[in-house]
Amino acid sequence: MPRIVALAGSGRAGRTNSEAILAYLADRIPGHLRREDIGVALRLTRDDVAFRHFRDRLETADMLIVCAPVYFDTLPAPLTDILNRLVAGGACPGAGKTMAGIVHSGYPEPAQRKVTRDVLACWAAEAGFTWTGALSFGGTSPIEGRPLEDAGVFAGHVRQTIDTLVTTFPLDPTIPEEVVRSGDGAPVNLPPILTVALLNMVMRRRAREKGVRDLTARPLDA
């Protein structure tokens, strides 16, 4: 029975979509992936003991799953740091193991996530893993770190894609392209003008939560 460890790559503190997606997956393949075997990159970068513990778990696992958002068309810095540390000194943590990815972003276009999927595939090859593919989800910003079951229509495409995948995964670790395509877009096909309005609404709410009242302010000009 393949044993999996996973790595949530978001650079944000608190609840993240990466963790929510991996938790949903873990609950559907509990004999393979446990929630306690999901490492959080941001925490691992700040805690050497936690990093070594994760590395030790990876050594005894059969598969690694990396789930990450797209930040500025690439991987978040904490995740990049952890991936670099895993292969430091020429280490080959993936020997005899497989690796899959899950990439998500607020933008609906699949092209926005393709480069990040390719980066993960290249790192897998460098680290000695056999790459088995990556899921790709667009329009995930409105999930806002909530359990996927609580995110309603905004997580519907993620839930449906994962539910389809686990009918064969991980006994067959390959992620079929038709499964990738089923989730590689937005949860709701909105006109571009409404998509922009929705994303702006989310960003304004996040700004208010951080105490920012005027998004047009330029305090450094003073």
Radius of gyration of the chain (CA): 18
Q: Does domain 4-187 have CATH number 3.40.50.150?
A: no
Beta strand 130-137 pairing with 63-69: unpaired
Q: In what order do the strands lie in the sheet with 38-40?
A: 38-40, 4-8, 63-69, 98-104, 130-137
d(CA 195, CA 108): 9
User: Exposed e or buried b for every residue in 204-218, given b needs 16+ CB within 10 A?
Assistant: eeeeeeeeeeeeeee
d(CA 50, CA 132): 27
Question: In this structure, are residues 55 and 24 in contact, taking their beta carbons and an 8 Å threshold?
Answer: no
Q: Can you give the pLDDT of all 222 residues of the chain as single tens digits?
A: 899 999 999 999 889 999 999 999 999 999 999 999 999 999 999 999 999 999 999 999 999 999 999 988 889 999 999 999 999 999 999 999 999 999 999 888 899 899 999 999 999 999 999 999 999 999 898 899 999 999 998 899 999 999 999 999 999 999 999 999 988 876 766 677 877 787 788 788 888 888 888 888 887 776
d(CA 75, CA 7): 13
**3-state SS class at 67:** strand
